[in-house]
Every structure is written in structure tokens, then in C-alpha cells.
Amino acid sequence: MFVRPARSLTVILAIIAFCCMVSILEGGLQSWSRNRLSIITAPSHEPPPPPPRIVDFWEKWAKVMDKAKPKIKPIRLTRQASIDGSDKANGDRTPSQESVGLPEKDWKSLQQSHSKLVGAAGFNTTNEQASSLFSGTGIVTVAGGPYLPPALLGVRMLRKTGSTLPVHVFLQSRAEYEPEICESVLPSLNAECFVIEDHLRKDAPFKVEHFQLKVLAILFSTFETVLYMDSDCIALRNPAELLESEPFLSRGFISWGDYWKATEDPTFYKIAGLSEFPKGLPAKSSESGQMVISKKKHLDSLLLAAYYNVFGPDYYYPLQSQGAMGQGDKESFLAATVVLGNPYYRVKENLGTIGYFDLKGEFHGGAMVQWSATEEYASQNATDKKKPRPFFLHANLPKLNVARMLDENVIYQPGTEKRIRIWGKEESTRQMFGFDVERMVWNEMREMACQLKDTMRDFNGRFQICRRAQEHYREMFEPKTGGGV
């Protein structure tokens, strides 16, 4: 029996429609399956979680510090300590004749609070816990926002020394976490990002910011042996030289000096429980842009330094600096080490400076030069003492953020369009460092400007950042006919 043509056509169309629907459904299911898989396997764009053992360790001692918090009103300075005579301040430190003027009842109250931390159960055996909490050796820095480009530059320059040490870059908050930089760029250089706030409980007893970040970054890093470097600090030589030799091996802590003489109130040492002003302290104050520390020898020093920083702005910063230049965390690390009687080495060679002269003949300092502790220590008993070679360059003014350097015109003589080398002439640079460090830095910065112009947040939207960085490098370091270098 034959089906009528109209009905036959209807059946055929129905079959075609059914097949199309099945095909669409299969494609949709496959697409959904692929999307679901991609969601599962895609990068989370989350910083790595902090180790619970370190979070628990800090939480325990944060509670102790909270119980040991000062009970007196915040110290308010009426004047800054004088730094006159800093250029002649060498040898051993003598007690400052200036004081914040604390009444006896106040400094004794601070003394009682201080003793609640250092006298707490388990504090004197803290160093013995270091091996179960930390391991390995690495470099730690604090960055984020406009300080992330200099930190990345520092890592790139570190690799030029031949160092393969891992690097931990600590950010204050998740708002500073840049996924592309933290999950691709830095890992390619054996560096990774961590967030300090992730290590803190939501009900943490005190707020952490600014100067407190440095000591917490060191404490929160999983490294047992830490070379800490500010984000604007550059290693000029392989850090292995410092970490694998004296004086670090026996002392476990190396610090460097600042330009100015120390100005702490002698009352600080009474508060810390010492019977007299410590002997053998260096005359100059500290510069904490770089430090080397072993937690096995100095975990207790770090906890005490954290205490000084947590309660620093209202109490210990004015006690340790009296408002003098650079007041902040810089004195807390050596102070904690001295108070606890722990071993340390302080580099004696005075801080160096590099910069340029403007058209009026005035000098503009651009970076601080810190010297090799290893070479200084090795030559201390030699008859023909040699000046140690430069080891770190702390580029504090201007910060080495190429985007901001270009926008703020710091690459020109003030008030002109004449380009400058911010660290001086090539001849003097090579004489001090053995190579043209400014040229090497600018080579790295121009590459960063071009490779990361759309990736690094602080580079986004900067007018022709790649072209301008290339142009400055070409004009100053690859001149067509002499000059410039």
C-alpha cells in the first residue's frame, strides 16, 4: 500500500527535525562538558594558601603580644633627635644625651609589658622550633602596586648574578595580587607571590600595615635562611657568597648601617630589661633594606622585632629613633637581637652613595651602596686591608618603576629636556662596580616596559611606555656618536 505524498513528506520532515535536534543536543552536551572541564581545570587565580603550621605559630604569639601590649598612652615626641655629627660617627656607639622624657612609672609599665612577651612560656625555646616550621634558603621581599615592578626588576637582576635561589614576593592584600605576574612571569624566574593578610586570622588582635609588613614577610616565609631585600634593592653579586661563609655561618644575622648616627633613647634598654647600655654597638643607625637571618638562631629575635613593629608607631619607633631620619622598622631587628643577647655581625664600612650633579653643580643621590660582609670580615685581621666590594644597590630615589620614572621626568636634568644617567658617568660606575650597572638596569626595564605594558597593572594606560623606554636606552646607552656613556 502506498502512502499518500502529503503524508510521506510530513514524515520525512519530522525525521529530519528529530535528527537535527539530537545533533544540537549532542553538541550542547559536549560543549557543556568541555566548559565544565575547563572550569574545573582553569587556573584559580588564587595565591597559594599559607602553611597551617606557620599560621598557628603566628596566631599563638600574636595573642601573647596582645596580652603584652603597652598600657600607657602613646608616646608623642615634642622634637626630633639631632643627627649632627653623623659623618664623624664611627666606632662604638655612645648613649644619646636626648630622651623622649618618659616618667619612671611609664617606662616601668612598658618594662612590665615587654617582660610578658620575653618571659612568656616557650619564648626562650622558640629557636628550637625553627627546624619543624621552616626549611631551605631563599630570598624574601615585600611588594605590591607601584612596588611590584621594582621587585620584578630585582628578581631579574638577581638572576644575572647566577643565583638560582627561590624568591618569595609578599603582598599586603589580595587586592595587590596580579594573576598574570604572580602565576606566569614570576614563576618563570623561580619566584612566587604570597599574601600577608592570608596568614592572619580575621579576628587578629591588631592591624598590620606598612612597617609591620617586613618582619611578618620574613616570619611567614617557609625559608629557614632568609636574605631579605626591599623591593628597590638589587643584588650585585651572587648571594651564595654571603650565605655560605663567615660571618653568617656563626652569627646567623648580618645587618648594614645607615647614613646617620644612632639616636635611640637609652631608656629603651631599661624597658627591655638590660641593666646597662650595650657595649660594642655600632655608632651608626641601621638600614634594613637588606638583611640575612637564620631562624634557627634568631626566630626569637624575629618575634621580638615583630613586637617592636606591631607597637612601633606609638611606642618603639620613637624610643628607638626619637623622630630622626628614617624612623620606622629599621632599628627593630638589631635592637631585638641585642636585647636577647643573640650573635650578629654589623658591616662597618660606611654606606656609599651614587647619583648625578645637576646643572647648578648640586649632587642628587640616587642609590645607596652596601658592601660585602664576607670580604670585610675576612680582611679584618689582615695587614693590608682592602675595601670590600659593593654587594647591594638600594635604589631608593627614584624607585626603579620605569613607568613612573618616565612619567615623572626623572630621566632629565631638572627643568630641561637633557637626558641624564641618574647614577653618574659610566667611567665612575665601572670603577665602583666593575660594570655599567645603570645600563644593565635600563636594559631590563625597557624589556619589562615592552613585554608587560598590557600585563603589569602599574604599566596599564601609560603613554607609549615601550617606545619611551626604548628611546631613553638608545639615546643614553647606545649613542650614535659618542657621549651619553
**pLDDT for 100 beyond 50:** yes
**pLDDT for 42 beyond 50:** no
* pLDDT confidence of residue 45: 85
* pLDDT confidence of residue 31: 41
Domains of the chain in sequence order: 52-346 (3.90.550), 401-485 (no CATH)
Distance CA 114, CA 120 (A): 10
Mean pLDDT across the stretch 458-476?
97
Distance CA 233, CA 217 (A): 16
* pLDDT confidence of residue 480: 63
* pLDDT confidence of residue 384: 77
How confident is the prediction for the chain on average, in pLDDT? 91
**pLDDT for 62 beyond 90:** yes
More confident residue, 480 or 93: 93
**pLDDT for 39 beyond 70:** no
* pLDDT confidence of residue 360: 95
Please state which of the ranges 32-36, 42-46, 315-319, 417-421 shows the lowest mean pLDDT.
32-36
**pLDDT for 484 beyond 50:** no
Q: What is the pLDDT of residues 148-204, one digit of tens each?
A: 999 999 999 999 999 999 999 999 999 999 999 999 999 999 999 999 999 998 888
pLDDT-based confidence at 88, cuts 50/70/90?
confident
* pLDDT confidence of residue 385: 79
- The per-residue DSSP string of 29-63 comes to HHHHHHHHHHHHHS----PPPPPHHHHHHHHHHHH
Distance CA 128, CA 295 (A): 9
In 247-372, which ranges are continuous DSSP H helix?
248-251, 267-271, 295-310, 317-321, 332-339
Q: What is the pLDDT of residues 192-243, one digit of tens each?
A: 999 999 999 888 888 888 899 999 999 999 999 999 999 999 999 999 999 9
pTM: 0.89
- What are phi and psi for residue 356, nearest 5 degrees? -140, 165
Q: What is the pLDDT of residues 253-269, one digit of tens each?
A: 999 999 999 999 999 99
Helix (H) or strand (E) holding 346: strand 345-346
Residue that has been written with the C-alpha cell 638608545 in this structure: 474
Helices and strands: H and E segment counts in the chain = 18, 11
Closest CA to 47 of 141, 166, 179, 161: 179
More confident residue, 145 or 23: 145
Closest CA to 53 of 122, 131, 124: 131
Please report the sign of the dihedral spanned by the C-alpha atoms of residue 340, residue 345, residue 349, residue 351.
negative
Closest CA to 313 of 207, 232, 225: 207
Please state which of the ranges 25-39, 299-313, 457-471 shows the lowest mean pLDDT.
25-39
Mean pLDDT across the stretch 303-332?
97
Q: C-alpha grid cell for residue 275?
A: 641593666
Distance CA 359, CA 378 (A): 42
